[in-house]
Structure 1
């Protein structure tokens, strides 16, 4: 039985992450794998940055309904993108990623009126994620701690491996303690897309959307695409036809 949007929000508030099942169709997964392979030619690193400027196939995922509706329910309607990247972890390759959180702006101790959450990340998995392929590892509820994860630990009490099927999306709070295991599968890659959302009043550290396609969409694309790519500063009004504009994307 599928969960209501309200139930998804409550689970995310409690755990700091949520698995959106079948966020992508099998056809979408197949197409996106082909595009990731194409744009990664020549890259020697695991990460391919700025993917919406490398191929238009990645643009619709900015407002992919199963994820975008949940993001707005969690963060409010005025959200922007921090970055949009892809990764290819080859068979038997990749180092484990140690414990960290992605938002490093949380003061300790946490003030009583701190704005929460500042950022939420979304990982679209294009391959099934198994223990061999190196899953995301999280500590549920750690986003509420107001602290960084402890240094020097390979494991933390309460951690869980987040398994996913191809086409699933995992969204997680910027303050959630998380890590990643290496891909030790002998023959299969681990491919994923990372769409990282940020409150629109926040300043991005760098402009990750400086390419020609991003500039054109920011100036003349559908309203929500303009907003996501940083055209506004949070003091703007949302037009009544904002949802309708997405139908033409």
Structure 2
């Protein structure tokens, strides 16, 4: 996997690598140790609280279940300023705009915490491609000649083979389809390895999956999904944020949470408001 820093990256080169190369690139040095520690602490607090709720409502049987070994924390923008800083890092925005268009939006921002012993996943592709196994539900001739997805993984713990670093198969984004058992993914996959603070940007059409965590420590990451402005986001991010948050959001943050894109809109109501403004 090609590796870049804030001083040596070229958006055009990265777009070419995402579309026609391996499908993924790594950045180092984008985030400080303090940012990584702060993000990790917030995620640990929220994921522990959610696990306690599940155990309370589902009983002791949940203790050994997957929900306690792999935990998601959603709507991170509402849980700490550090996540807004991560989502709007200028290097990432520069590359994402070159890849998905200048008005691209964030489809989701969540944390994935895999505890020791946590399970892996089956190989897959990501939203909005993630149900490509149901081809009739997608447009005819859908292909990867242009992207409608980008994924960002910010590592908060060591991503090693032992801790279950994300596996991916380079080049599979070029032929957009869902992986099958016959593809023998696990026999030829590569791993997204890195240290806390390292960041991987990849085209979610590349086959990938989390691997089992066989280490003695958690594997936490911030996972962000980005889509062009005309693709419906996975998370309704504005609905999860307060009016004060939205009113004080930076221009970059307003763009990626979709506040600058009016659609879908009730157009007859908008027409009436415009008419009133002209009277």
- Taking structure 1 as the reference length, the TM-score comes to 0.82
The 5 Å alignment of 1:1-249 reads 3-5=8-10, 6-13=12-19, 14-44=21-51, 45=67, 46-92=71-117, 94-102=118-126, 103-104=128-129, 107=138, 110-111=141-142, 116-151=146-181, 155-156=185-186, 158-185=188-215, 187-213=216-242, 215-233=243-261
Distance 1:130 1:157, change over 3 A: closer
- Provide the secondary structure at the position in 1 that maps to 2:239: coil
Aligned-residue RMSD, C-alpha: 2.5
Distance 1:60 1:76, change over 3 A: same
Quote the Cα distance in structure 1 between the aligned partners of 2:221 and 2:99: 23
Q: Is the 8 A contact 2:238 2:259 kept in 1?
A: no
Any stretches of 5+ residues in structure 2 without a counterpart?
52-66, 133-137, 264-279
Distance 1:153 1:184, change over 3 A: farther
Distance 1:52 1:111, change over 3 A: closer
Query: As a proportion of its length, which structure holds more helix?
Result: 2
Quote the Cα distance in structure 1 between the aligned partners of 2:171 and 2:150: 14
Cα deviation, 1:86-115, whole Å, max 9, x if unaligned, reads 1221122x2111111013276586357x77
Cα deviation, 1:171-226, whole Å, max 9, x if unaligned, reads 111211111211111x211010011111111123552442233x444455222211
Query: As a proportion of its length, which structure holds more strand?
Result: 1
Any stretches of 5+ residues in structure 1 without a counterpart?
236-249
Quote the Cα distance in structure 2 between the aligned partners of 1:205 and 1:8: 24
Give how far 1:10 is off: 2.7
Q: Is the 8 A contact 1:110 1:146 kept in 2?
A: no
Distance 1:219 1:29, change over 3 A: same
Q: Is the 8 A contact 1:35 1:57 kept in 2?
A: no
Distance 1:152 1:115, change over 3 A: closer
- Taking structure 2 as the reference length, the TM-score comes to 0.74
- Provide the secondary structure at the position in 1 that maps to 2:107: strand
Quote the Cα distance in structure 2 between the aligned partners of 1:151 and 1:209: 38
Decide which structure has the larger Cα Rg and report it. Answer: 2
Give how far 1:157 is off: 5.5
